[in-house]
Structure 1
Amino acid sequence: MTSPHSENLLPRHTSFGWLIAVLGGQLATELDGKLKTIGLNITLWPTLFALWEEEGLTQAELAARCQTAHYTTTRVLDSLEKLELVERRKHPTSRRAYQIFLTEKGRELEAEGTALAKECNRNFLSPLSEDESETLHALITKVVQARMS
């Protein structure tokens, strides 16, 4: 039997993967709650965020940028179309591809949506100093970029 204090010594509490998974889950849950206040949810977020950065992407480009499977991206785009936030347009040089563009309604959500995400990030990083927060961000970015190359 373990004591309540020995839980801090469990291997998962020193596992980078476990800690990142826990933090990611907590962050996703909080952001999802905030996004619901503007009629969105966490499953739509990566695609909208990518389109706010650059419109006119194909579904394959969106799937790659969002790190999602093509069928997932199809379902997300279907949902975004039903909400009248995006529209598919025929690609000018490919007969099979479509480009994805935001509607005016989709563009109007950017300021409020990104403000909610920034608030969520500030909440999660609040235990850290500004320098610690910048260092954490830089280190995680370095690991992610190394894994993507």
Structure 2
Amino acid sequence: MSKKFERQASFGWLTNVIANRAARKFEEQLKKQGLTLALWPVLMCLFEEEGVTQSEIARKSMIENSTTTRTLDKLVKLSLVERQSDPNSRRSFHIYLTEKGRALQSQLLPIPVAVNKELLAPLSASEQKELIRLLQKLVN
């Protein structure tokens, strides 16, 4: 006899609910800056380190190469990033933030911090640390 599925005890369902809540709150704030949530993973990678290749961004952000390409195209169109040719490879580019992109960093980085703080507020500080530790363990 198989065990009955219980939505309220389902890791997948619970994490999806929290992820959707976080995405909605974050997207709301990004829209005020004229951005979308889809652009965030690439911007976040570039805030951490500029001059990386598109492949490195895809790997770090855990999104497909083709999605990374489209996202970079949008960010270039918004004048937030630029591609610079790799002198050692005709097919490779290094990605850099523009001045406009760098200027957004101080406005954007507090947003996910505030969203995370709000979503984790029902937990004690030690519970928050433990939850993050366990999620990092699952992701890695």
TM-score w.r.t. structure 2 length? 0.93
Match of 1:142 in 2: 137
Match of 2:126 among 127, 131, 145: 131
Cα distance in 1 for partners of 2:34, 2:125 equals 32
Counterparts of 1:1-149 in structure 2, within 5 Å, are 11-145=6-140
Cα shift at 1:10 = 6.1
Cα distance in 1 for partners of 2:13, 2:109 equals 27
* Residues 91-133 of structure 1: CA deviation (Å, up to 9, x unaligned): 1211101110000110111111011111111110111111111
Q: Say which structure is richer in strand.
A: 2
Amino acid aligned to 2:62 = Q
Gaps of 5+ in 2: none
Cα distance in 2 for partners of 1:55, 1:12 equals 42
SS in 1 for 2:94: strand
* Residues 65-101 of structure 1: CA deviation (Å, up to 9, x unaligned): 1111111111100110111000000012111011100
Superposed CA RMSD: 1.3
* Residues 30-56 of structure 1: CA deviation (Å, up to 9, x unaligned): 100011111211000010000000111
Gaps of 5+ in 1: 1-8
Amino acid aligned to 2:118 = N
Cα distance in 1 for partners of 2:9, 2:87 equals 51
Cα distance in 1 for partners of 2:87, 2:46 equals 18
Identical aligned pairs, as a percentage?
A: 44
Amino acid aligned to 2:31 = K
* Residues 17-40 of structure 1: CA deviation (Å, up to 9, x unaligned): 111111111111110001111121
